[in-house]
Amino acid sequence: MLLTLPDVLSPSELQLARELLAHAPWQAGRDSAGTQARSVKHNEQLPHDCEAATHIRQMVLQGLHRSPLFFSAALPLRIFTPRINRHGGEANAYGPHIDNAIRLKAREPQEGGGTEYVRTDVSCTVFLNDPDEYEGGELSISDTYGTRGVKLPAGHAVLYPGTSLHQVTPVTRGQRLACFFWVQSMVRSDEQRRLLFELDMNLLRLRQQHSESAETTALTGTYHNLLRMWAET
């Protein structure tokens, strides 16, 4: 399932992100890539612990917590620490690749420190600048539904299956700024997550049209019983 999340970041949060990124210490993105990805990864990335990366990932995580659409679609159990990247100039593309199935996450101090493994069920990209600021730079995602190019307004995000072959096409003008991360879902199967999401969204529409009823109450029970059957916590 490929889904757009509108307005994960507010205009004021985006302005702060841009100010932080103006003097950020960029480094070669391939340094953090796996063996296969390293050969096609030609971009820049912020160090995990620099000021810009720390503040931007906090804003992104807060934005996700504000989004009921994100929770319904991803059903998050663990979120890999968001990272920030830049495409432009000589470091302008990330060729076709599939993300590693398991990532090792350094836990934040408030999470107790240490490390934990995150299974990359769902991938997410939050766009930090608008499409008219650069040419190229589409997130091209290929899966059983075909290939789609995604290039969203600043503050919007896209969710897509971590199993997808994807790439960032070359940026031929300007710079593309984005935040990316992975989600380990409580429901491993993309098909099951999609069915739960569709049921949840249609229940919401039924309530908006007809308010609460015996039927929506029964269907809500069906949703939670399916979630209880499929979820791992």
What is the DSSP code string of 35-50?
HHHHTTEE-EE--TTS
- All CATH 4.10.860 domain ranges of the chain, comma separated, are 190-230
- All CATH 2.60.120.620 domain ranges of the chain, comma separated, are 3-185
Reading phi first (left if > 0) and then psi (alpha if -120 to 50, else beta), residue 146 is in left
Q: Tell me, what's the pLDDT at 38? A: 72
Q: Tell me, what's the pLDDT at 35? A: 63
Q: Residues 14, 155: contact at Cβ < 8 Å?
A: yes
Region 184-203: mean pLDDT is 98
Region 157-177: mean pLDDT is 97
What is the radius of gyration, based on Cα positions, of the chain?
A: 18
Q: Residues 207, 220: contact at Cβ < 8 Å?
A: no
**What is the band of 134 on the pLDDT scale with cuts at 50, 70, 90?**
very high
**What is the band of 31 on the pLDDT scale with cuts at 50, 70, 90?**
low
Which helix (H) or strand (E) is 78 found in, with range?
A: strand 76-79
Is 108 a residue whose pLDDT tops 90?
Answer: no
Pick the CATH number of 190-230 from 4.10.860, 1.10.4160, 2.60.40, 1.20.120: 4.10.860
**What is the band of 144 on the pLDDT scale with cuts at 50, 70, 90?**
confident
**What is the band of 126 on the pLDDT scale with cuts at 50, 70, 90?**
very high
Q: What is the CATH number of domain 3-185?
A: 2.60.120.620
**What is the band of 29 on the pLDDT scale with cuts at 50, 70, 90?**
confident
